Amino acid sequence: MGVCDAIEQYAPAGKPSAMNPPHLPKVAGIDSTVPPPAHTAPPAPQAQSAPMLIQDRLAGWISDLTTLQELTERMARTAALDEALHELLRAGAALVGARRGLLVLEPADGLGPDTTVGLGLTRADLGHIETVPRGATAFGRLLDAPPAPPGARSETAEIAEIVDADLLADTGLDARHREVAVRLGYAASYALPLSTETAGRIGAAVWLYDEPAEPDERRRHLVGLYARQAAEHLALLTELERARRTEATLREELLPSRLPRVAGVQLAARHRTCARGGGDWFDALPLPDAALGLAVGSVTGSGPSAVAAMGRLRASLRAYAVMEGEDPVAVLSDLELLLRLTEPARSATALFAYCEPAQRKIILAGAGHSPPLVIGERRTEFMETSLSAPLGMLACWEAPSVEFRTEPGETVLLYTDGLLHRTGDPMDRAFARLHAAAASVPKSLHADPAALADHVLRTVLPDGLDTVDSDEDVVLLAARFE
């Protein structure tokens, strides 16, 4: 019989029941810790035919392979690194008959990400374990072991496993490790390295037992096979996480690190990126004669190419705005010409507003972009721009600008289409939802553009839709005129 039934619950309830105390071994999965009555003689073993033995053995192998396949498929379905780390811990605990454990992700190349996750352990518990000298921990010995030489098999050149069947009976146990083990209530551990031939060592997993115990040979074989398969998946997710972090860093560097301070206006911005990295952007820059330029935009596509195109487009718009910002149509016309000549296969939407805060006057032009929203105590309305195509869609872009003035205390909200698309509603209903969210802003928040933007974001995208993985970026830029 295999271990499928134990895995269905995925984590043993209570203390592990499939452990193998060193001094009282179990045989073939049957607990031998209960001795036969003293007044009776042990029954004579019944002879079992060779075909029956072979059949039982084959059934056990099939059960084990089925379990291994199910767990490997569960691991393959994980799409996020943190999810995969917890999945490996839970599956491994079921395989070795443990209740708790921890996994330390620490790629040998030093490029990260480095993290520690626990199963049945709180953050405080993990903090206590981290106070143990690294060389005294199983994961430390695995991670700090000399790497395998090029071309050598990792299981022969590196430590394959570390079994501490009775920690508290070990006279050479580090004093701090003993103190932490007693405090957290574990008495044994079983640890495996996580490595692949291409990525090398990427981490180590340790499972903890409440009593002196160790997994039998069969369970060690199964968890070893599973760990090797899971490590390949973890290595792929680690590379993906690195790429995401690199894109996020690049995107953040290409966007304003801080908004300028301009007399007569308060600014706030909110930016939510999609999982693959999108091309939505915003900008706010001081202009000559105490003016202010506000811009939002979006380029087609996603990933590094879209992020790079976004950076080039934003940098170009800043240059055009400094030279001719008082004419938003000219700014967008120059931007369209640049896009058409340098990236003919890409299109973009953009909205640029030239603001004179002292007069609360705004001149804006849009290229295929959603209209800004004016939010005040007396009105909440869209400031319609003239209809126009996105940049790069026509041989020559041009559209008239729109001029309007705000009342004291009103906020102009610029946003990208991702805010509307993430709702999942048709565009007319999404616009209605945005208008209703803006109209519901409490009066106490009108003086704070950051709080106003947060309210709109949470109301339009409830239930965490502003942070969930999506194919759409979200940008909000709020400007409150005094």
* Other Cβ atoms closer than 10 A to 72: 17
- Share above pLDDT 70 across residues of the chain, in percent, rounded to a whole number: 81
Q: Give residue 95's pLDDT band: very low, low, confident or very high (50, 70, 90).
A: very high
Task: Indicate if the pLDDT at residue 440 is higher than 70.
Answer: yes
* Other Cβ atoms closer than 10 A to 264: 16
Looking at the domain that runs over 56-245, which CATH code has it been given?
3.30.450.40
* Averaged pLDDT, 193-204: 93
Task: Indicate if the pLDDT at residue 15 is higher than 80.
Answer: no
Q: Considering only CA atoms, which of 349, 478, 475, 368 is closest in space to residue 419?
A: 475
* Averaged pLDDT, 21-38: 38
Q: What is the largest CA-CA distance in the chain?
A: 106
Q: DSSP string covering 65-134, please?
A: HHHHHHHHHHHHT--SHHHHHHHHHHHHHHHHT-SEEEEEE--TTS-S--EEEEES--HHHHHHHHTS-G
Written as six digits, the tokens of 222 are 């199964």
Would you say 339 and 315 are in contact if contact means Cβ atoms under 8 Å apart?
no
Q: Give residue 376's pLDDT band: very low, low, confident or very high (50, 70, 90).
A: very high
Please report, for residues 154, 196, 354, the alpha-carbon distance to residue 149 in angstroms, rounded to integers and kept in the order given: 8, 13, 63
* Averaged pLDDT, 189-207: 95
Task: Indicate if the pLDDT at residue 14 is higher than 60.
Answer: no
* Averaged pLDDT, 140-151: 75
* Averaged pLDDT, 204-218: 95
* Other Cβ atoms closer than 10 A to 469: 10
Task: Indicate if the pLDDT at residue 34 is higher than 70.
Answer: no
* Averaged pLDDT, 296-300: 90
Would you say 423 and 465 are in contact if contact means Cβ atoms under 8 Å apart?
yes
* Averaged pLDDT, 295-310: 84
Domain ranges of the chain: 56-245, 256-481
- pLDDT for the residue numbered 302: 74
Q: How far apart are CA 142 and CA 113, in angstroms?
A: 18
Written as six digits, the tokens of 425 are 């509603």
Task: Indicate if the pLDDT at residue 5 is higher than 50.
Answer: no
- Share above pLDDT 90 across residues of the chain, in percent, rounded to a whole number: 60
Q: Considering only CA atoms, which of 414, 418, 450 is closest in space to residue 274?
A: 418
* Averaged pLDDT, 347-376: 94
* Averaged pLDDT, 90-116: 94
Looking at the domain that runs over 256-481, which CATH code has it been given?
3.60.40.10
pLDDT digit string (tens) for 230-273? Answer: 999 999 999 988 877 876 676 666 777 789 999 999 999 998 87
Q: How far apart are CA 219 and CA 28, in angstroms?
A: 11
Task: Indicate if the pLDDT at residue 367 is higher than 70.
Answer: yes
